[in-house]
Amino acid sequence: MPTTRTRHARGDRHMFSSSDENAMMKNILATHAPDGTYFDVMPLLKIIEDIMHWANPDTSHHGTQPEIDAIVESVIYNDINEMLEVLALTINKVSCEISCKCNGGGDAHATTTGIFNMLSHYGWDVKAIITLAAFMVNYGEFWLVVHLCTSNPLAKSLAQLKQMHDVLERGEALKPSFEAVTNLIRAMIDLTRCIVRFKDLPEQYISRETPELVAATAHIPTAVYWLIRSIVACASILINLIGMGHEHITTTTEAWELSSFAHKISNIHDHLKNQLDLCNHHIRKCSLALSERSDHSFLSKRLRQTNPEKSRKSSN
């Protein structure tokens, strides 16, 4: 009889190759009911990137204490406290949802859909940021304990409670899974940053009806779905690493699974990045045209002021 984890992996492959994506996305779109509230999520994305940088076990430079203090200070004083007060509860709820639903396998698509239902009144970019932040809370806590458990008594006790000694002892054997998780997270951060940048396009140069923007925004819901779906996959593997310990042996399958998600996320990012470049090209053209009209108007005005007689003749 296949294990829960094996069934989960098979379900992942089936979902990944399914030809029923259009029907799936109709259900996801049905959960989307934004209330119009605007959030500047770039500072939160910066925190996510900082967590990834400092938690990443493969990084060769963990920074000096002054560098760490500078990051903490930037987090505190970057005018994001008010936004975090609004979003913190939701981030914690989603984090708990991910932890509970991903424990022991389960239907990853159903978990993903449940997260979309929880975040129904947020915009697509905010859904992505909240879910990524919720995952990074667990990811960051995991690596914080790993980094400190040999030198900090509190971290050592937490590692014992979480039964992380098997993970630490089998670090080399589990390296493919950790590398796959790291690569997927980096791809997800890149995609999230790209999605957020569409929100910052200057409205005076590009409207929602501009073909380049219409083409891009049509793909953003699908991008956010696969982003959150990939987060669920990452969380499932990390939770099973801790929960199953020495019994966790399906690292090759997991590395393949996460690599498949990373490939899909990277392809989506490349497509959206191309659309973003087209939007920026349109913006530059409009900005240049507006600047040229402004320069022409200014020169005409100066001509009339310096040589009114010639200006009247030329107009006649």
Please say whether the beta carbons of 213 and 207 come within 8 A: yes
Q: What tens digit of pLDDT does each residue of 106-130 get?
A: 788 999 999 999 999 999 999 999 9
- DSSP for 219-259 reads THHHHHHHHHHHHHHHHHHHHHHHHHGGG---HHHHHHHHH
Report how far residue 73's alpha carbon sits from residue 75's, in angstroms, rounded to the nearest whole number: 5
Residue 307's φ and ψ, nearest 5 degrees, are -145, 70
Residue written as token pair 């090759």: 252
pLDDT at 303: 54
- Over 70: is that where the pLDDT of 301 sits? no
Q: Name the more confident of 299 and 276.
A: 276
Residue written as token pair 């913006």: 283
**pLDDT interval class at 13 (50, 70, 90):** very low
Report how far residue 213's alpha carbon sits from residue 216's, in angstroms, rounded to the nearest whole number: 5
Half-sphere exposure of 218 (CA within 13 A, CB side): 9
Q: How many CB atoms lie within 10 A of CB 178?
A: 20
- Over 90: is that where the pLDDT of 5 sits? no
Helix spans in 77-161 (H): 81-102, 108-118, 124-148, 153-161
Write the burial class of residue 114 (CB in 10 Å: 0-12 exposed, 13-18 middle, 19+ buried). middle
Please say whether the beta carbons of 206 and 286 come within 8 A: yes
pLDDT at 258: 87
Write the burial class of residue 255 (CB in 10 Å: 0-12 exposed, 13-18 middle, 19+ buried). buried
Mean pLDDT, residues 245-267: 75
Q: What tens digit of pLDDT does each residue of 60-108 get?
A: 444 455 555 555 555 544 556 677 778 999 999 999 999 888 876 678 8
Q: How many CB atoms lie within 10 A of CB 222?
A: 16
Burial 71-81 (b: 16+ CB within 10 A, else e): beeeeeeeebe
**pLDDT interval class at 227 (50, 70, 90):** very high
Which stretch of DSSP H or E encloses residue 190? helix 175-199
- Over 50: is that where the pLDDT of 207 sits? yes
Least confident of 2-11, 38-47, 131-140: 2-11
Report how far residue 153's alpha carbon sits from residue 205's, in angstroms, rounded to the nearest whole number: 57
**pLDDT interval class at 308 (50, 70, 90):** low
pLDDT at 256: 81
